[in-house]
Amino acid sequence: MLRFFNIIIYFLFKSKSFNLNILNLDDYWEKMNFNQDELIKKIFEKKNQINSDTFTLTRCILLALNSYFIDGLQFRELKTALKISDGNLASNLNYLIKLGYINKNEMEFDNKKLRYYTITDNGKEELKKILNWLELIKKLLEEVDYE
Amino acid sequence: MSKNFKKIISALKYWNIYLKRPDKAYGSRFKIQKLAYLCQSMGIPLNYQFTLYLSGPYSTRLTQDYFSAPQLVETLETDYVFNEKDIEILDKINEYVLIHPINNTYESEFLEAVSTIRYLKNIYPDMLDDELFAKTKEIKQHLKDSIIVIATNAVKKLLFKPEFLTEEVQKEIDIWDKAED
């Protein structure tokens, strides 16, 4: 919508009736596009700061959930919520543990050993990077009436 | 320390529940969350917002409270005094949940089942027992069927008021009691 509005303004000012030479129209156009260019540039720059191994649906959700439930989440709770197999969940959790984003803990619960997981500071930091990156994409798309 | 958390400390003290520091023990955090929800849902004003899904009933605000003063859960130091109405609620929770025989073996699961069913009852007051069972099983797959049935009965007892006791209700209670045995 904004872009459309800018185009209208550009052509209005370019037309004879508005050729009052009050504005430098090319400067104006360049200025209006500057933010988008910066955003696109930033999206590419920030992409490299994210660990691409973390950027899968399951791993992002695991980081987000563990960030919200700071008490920690049990393996069985995560399994119920994500509706994935034990093996799939375990391999994703183990990968995040290997990267240092999640801690694995064990405890005695009703005389049974249970595993639960908590997020580390590195994990929180990684999630923040992902969210900031998505925010840049969101900002960029807001400019184009994207549906 | 928040007034809400003072009430929880006072409730633990009233029940003589001594837990390890919640910042170091997952079990303590788990129990505090579920007991706090039961207190609030039964009418003790705590003003925490609880979510059900995943690890619920769970309140992030409550988490912040016990992480900011974890030592109090061990020492149970508090100057908060409950009124008579609140004491009645604490007694009910004690009678139907905390000293229930199943608590000796399945303390955490029973507490989780009771608080979950109480939460569901709060959202869907007209939900039938079968639906309640299915819903609980859906969101807490790890809970045993028998624990869900016993917990449903416990929640009914918690919510029961003397004026509800008609002949028909008494019959149903007897059936549930038999199932529990």
The string of pLDDT tens digits covering residues A60-81 is 999 999 999 999 999 999 998 8
Q: What is the pLDDT of residue A112?
A: 85
A69's enclosing H/E stretch is none
In sequence order, which residues have a C-beta less than 8 Å from that of residue A56 and are 6 or more positions away? Answer: A92
Cα gap B70→B67, rounded to integer Å? 5
pLDDT tier at A12, thresholds 50, 70, 90 = very low
* Torsion over CA: B114, B172, B134, B103 (sign): positive
| A-interface mutation test, from B142, B143, B147, most A Cβ less than 10 A away | B142
Instruction: Decide if B108 touches A, using CB distance below 8 A.
Output: yes
Residue A35 pLDDT exceeds 70: yes
Length of chain B: 181
Amino acid code (one letter) for A38: E
**Short-list A92, A112, A113, A88, CA closest to A102:** A92
Chain A residues touching B29 at Cβ < 8 A: 71-72
Q: What is the pLDDT of residue A139?
A: 87
**Largest pairwise CA distance in chain B:** 50
Residue B167 burial class via C-beta count within 10 angstroms: exposed 0-12, middle 13-18, buried 19 and up: exposed
Contact criterion met (CB < 8 Å) for A80 and B142: yes
**Short-list A134, A73, A133, A132, CA closest to A102:** A73
Cα gap B108→B34, rounded to integer Å? 9
Cα gap B34→A105, rounded to integer Å? 21
B39's enclosing H/E stretch is helix B26-42
Contact criterion met (CB < 8 Å) for B58 and A69: yes
Q: Tell me the ipTM for this assembly.
A: 0.78
Instruction: Decide if B141 touches A, using CB distance below 8 A.
Output: yes
Q: What is the pLDDT of residue B35?
A: 97
Q: Give the nearest partner residue to B27 out of A69, A73, A107, using CB atoms.
A: A107
Write down the residue that tokens 């910042």 correspond to: B23
Contact criterion met (CB < 8 Å) for A81 and B33: no
To the nearest whole Å, the CA of A49 is away from the closest chain B CA by 30
Q: Give the nearest partner residue to A71 out of B29, B139, B140, using CB atoms.
A: B29
**Short-list A115, A69, A107, A61, CA closest to B58:** A69
Q: What is the pLDDT of residue A38?
A: 84
Helices B26-42 and B3-14: angle between axes, nearest 10 degrees: 100
Chain B residues touching A69 at Cβ < 8 A: 54-55, 58
Q: Which portions of chain B are predicted below pLDDT 70?
A: 181
Q: What is the pLDDT of residue B42?
A: 96
Cα gap B81→B137, rounded to integer Å? 38
Residue of B nearest to A78 (CA): B54
Contact criterion met (CB < 8 Å) for A80 and B26: no
Residue A40 pLDDT exceeds 70: yes
**Quick one: tokens of A41?**
């540039």
* Torsion over CA: A79, A80, A82, A85 (sign): positive
The string of pLDDT tens digits covering residues A86-140 is 999 999 999 999 999 999 999 888 788 888 999 999 999 999 999 999 999 988 8
Instruction: Decide if A71 touches B, using CB distance below 8 A.
Output: yes
pTM for the full predicted model: 0.79
Cα gap A102→A81, rounded to integer Å? 18
**Quick one: tokens of B112?**
């989780």
Residue A39 pLDDT exceeds 50: yes
